[in-house]
Structure formats: structure tokens, C-alpha cells
Amino acid sequence: MTTKKKTAKPAYQFDAIVIGTGPGGEGAAMQLAKAGKKVAVIEKYHAVGGGCTHWGTIPSKALRHSVSRLIEYNTTPLFADNHVSRNLTFSDIMQHASGVIKSQSRLRSTFYDRNRVTLIHGEASFIDAHTVEITRNDGSKEIITGEKTAIATGSRPYCPKDIDFNHPRIYNSDTILNLDHEPQSIIIYGAGVIGTEYASIFRGLGVKVDLVNMRDRLLSFLDAEISDALSYHLWNNGVVIRHTESYSSVEGREDSVILNLESGKRMRADCLLFANGRTGNTDMLNLQNVGLKADSRGQLKVNHNYQTEVDNIYAIGDVIGYPSLASAAYNQGRFAAEAMLHGNANAQLVEDIPTGIYTIPEISSVGKNEQELTQLKIPYEVGRAQFKHLARAQIASTQVGSLKILFHRETKEVLGIHCFGERASEIVHIGQAIMQQQGGGNTIEYFINTTFNYPTMAEAYRVAALNGLNRVFND
């Protein structure tokens, strides 16, 4: 009788390799390390944090905060009689943003040190499914092996080849952070989340803004009333919005930029910000060596465990597309790590992911909007609270905006929360928490029966709930 010899398990240097240190990569690496796994993390740039920390979420929101405070200072009646209106340049407010970026990056680097994660700087590419080559900035190379790999390389701005992004007056949403002159006017091509946020920032600095939108309305995924409120607010502040337009060519000149539109219009400004979509950072990974292929936007397909078509390779964050949010990417990283450890992710992203758009004022929503509920033929009612009626908003002079609650007429279940105004991205989480309640706990009556601190912006929920229930009648 012969016995079969067990095949020896290959010896890898690491249990897991994580490519990228943005929120997704950090979430995966921390979860794996805390489970006792030997983890290597590869970061292309000299500092950790990924695009979220260095070019996207953190810098743009820090810029927005500074500009918002500048607007508040210049418009608050308390200071009207005894101060001169202040002006800040883009460079001025970038100094504050740079401090936040450095602080965040230092903090995140300590996570890897504390959890004994091996951090390697350089550009990663696959040799095979278990082997990764790292090319350092000085050209030297290192090869490491790992049992499993998580791709969390993020995304970058989409840059069409017919536009010269090396021109000193033509920017994308990454390079705009290096703006070193003070434009009097700017054209922003692309009126998505990034485009509208930067339109608010530059208009707040007193720059003339032309916002070119390829669609027929701003941020069409939003509740129509919220989208209309943003359009009106931008228009009221002097932003020129051009809908259903697309470019034919861009001319970079020594003293200006000319944008030629397919409709025949020609626009001139001191600089151009092109903000029309993003591309996954997968082109340098040599995916063909492991049998993977990204789509036209550099994105990879994964299953519910964030596993690609190659069993030991996972992908998370912007490289897999929706929802392309820093907050979601961190959780995706944790869930992917669970699948890498146990073969299956024990949790998934919540169905109702909140949207936060950091225009001035902010927009935030969670759940269904009116258009969706109407299409689904769900009998809903609307409760509204105008911020101008709230004592806290009057005290803080943040009276622009409102809260809208959508709820089922019969069951009183909260179906959607939509907020436009200062601190909207914070306010929406109260409604989100109630929507997540099980066993009948999710009803609009909660907001009436509970007691809110007074004065607070949270009081808007009570006002909106009463307003909505007053619309409900019984035959």
C-alpha cells in the first residue's frame, strides 16, 4: 500500500501583499495585520495616504473649509461695520490644506509601524499571481512574494490625449493643487462632484467661473429639488453654468485658454480645470501576467468577496468603480481582508450609502429620492424644514438650506433624507442611523417623540417630521 505524499505549501515571504495605501489599502492591511498575518504594503509615492489624502478628499475639503470661513467672515453682520473685507489667494488657503495633508499622512504612517506592517516605497507590477516586482524611484528593483494580494491603487483624473495638460494654464483635479498664479477667471469642464466643488471654491475666492456641464442638469443622481437648489445657489453667486455642452478642442495660449465647444461657442479664461471623470490606476500593474484585464476606465471586476477572476488576487476602492468613496473603500478593504482570511466576507457595504458633496453650502443625502419613489409607485410624503427658521442657523448665520425627509404614507417608514446647507454631511447621519433601525424602529415618528438639544441643527428633523405628518390625511 502506497501513501500519497502531501504537496508542500509554497513558502511565501508574506501572507498578503497590499498595493496602495489609500483608505482601501489601509483597511485591508490593518485587518490582516491585526489577525496576525505578515503583510507587505507597497506605496508608489514617498508618503502614505493615497489620492484621498494627497490630491482628492482631504485637500479639496480643506480648501473648501477655508473658503467657506472666508465667506462667513465677509458676510457676517457682526463684523460689517468695523472691518475691511478680506481676500485670500489660492496659494494662501493651500498652506492650510498642506498642513492638514502632512498631519494626516504622518498619522496614517504610524498605523503601519504599530502593526508591524512592512512598508515598501516604489511602483508595483505583477510577475505572476504570487510575485510582485517593485521599482523604486532610483531605478532599483525588489521582488517579493505573497500568498494573496489586494489591489488598492486608486484612480487618477481622466486626461484626454488631445488636451495638453503640460500647458501651465491647463489643469486636472490633481494638478490644480499646484496652481501658483492668481486667475481672475477659470473654466471648469465637467460639472460632476469634483467640478461643482471647485466651482464653489473658486467663486468663493472671487474668481469668475464658467462651469461646463455635459448633461442637462447638475448632479442628476441627486433629488431634483436639491439639484435645483445647488444650481440656483451657484447662479445666484455668479457662476455661469452651460448645460448639454461638450468640447471640440482646447487651445492653450501664453496669456489664456480657449475652450471650443461642439455647439460652436468659444470661451476664454485665465485657466482651465478639466474635471470629467477618473481612470483606475491599473495600467502599470502588468495585469496580463496574471490573466487579468481592466476595462476602458482601468477598473477590475470582482465578486461579492472583492475577489477578481484570479483566486488569490482581490481589488478594492476606486479600481472596482462604484461607489468610489473614501469611506466605502476603507470598509471594502476590511471586508476583502475577511474574505482573504476566512474565504468569505462576513459583511457588505450598507445598501443606503450616504452621499456627501462639499460644495458651498454642502449637499448630503441617503436613501431614495423623489424621482425614484415616484417611478417605483411607492406612496410617499415629504416633510421639510427650512434652515432659516432654526434658531441655531440664525445664530450661526447659516440660514441657506433645508432638510427634506421622505417617508411612506402608511407605514411612516423613512425612505430618504436629503439635506442642502452648512454641515449637511454631518446632519444626514442622524437620519441614516434611524433608517438602519430594524423591527419597526425606522419611522418618522421617532423624530417627533425624541428630544433634541436646543438650539441645534438636528432640530430640523423634528420640524420636518411635523411638517410631513401634517400632510398625511385619512379618508
Binding residues for FAD: 43-52, 61, 153-155, 318
Residue stretches of the annotated binding site for NAD(+)? 190-197, 277
Contacts of 420 (CB under 8 A, 6+ apart): 226, 229, 230, 361, 362, 363, 401, 402
State the Cα–Cα distance between residues 428 and 221, nearest whole angstrom. Answer: 17
Q: How many helices (H) and strands (E) does the chain have?
A: 12, 22
How far apart are alpha carbons 209 and 203 in whole angstroms?
Answer: 6
**The 271-274 sheet, strands edge to edge:** 170-172, 271-274, 185-189, 208-212, 240-242
Extract the C-alpha cell encoding 58. Answer: 482631504
Residue ranges of the annotated binding site are 43-52, 61, 153-155, 190-197, 277, 318
Sequence-separated contacts (24+) of 303-308 with Cβ below 8 Å: 304/345, 304/348, 305/335, 305/336, 305/339, 305/343, 305/344, 305/345, 306/150, 306/332, 306/335, 306/336, 306/339, 306/345, 307/336, 307/339, 308/151
Those residues whose C-beta lies under 8 Å from the C-beta of residue 32, and which sit 6 or more positions away, are 15, 16, 18, 39, 337, 340, 341
* Strand 401-408 with 380-386, pairing: antiparallel
- Between CA 337 and CA 419 the distance in angstroms is 34
3-state SS, one letter per residue, for 101-158: HHHHHHHHHHHHHHCCCEEEECEEEEEECCEEEEECCCCCEEEEEEEEEEECCCEEEC
Distance CA 48, CA 242 (A): 38
Q: 242: how many CB neighbours lie within 10 A of its CB?
A: 18
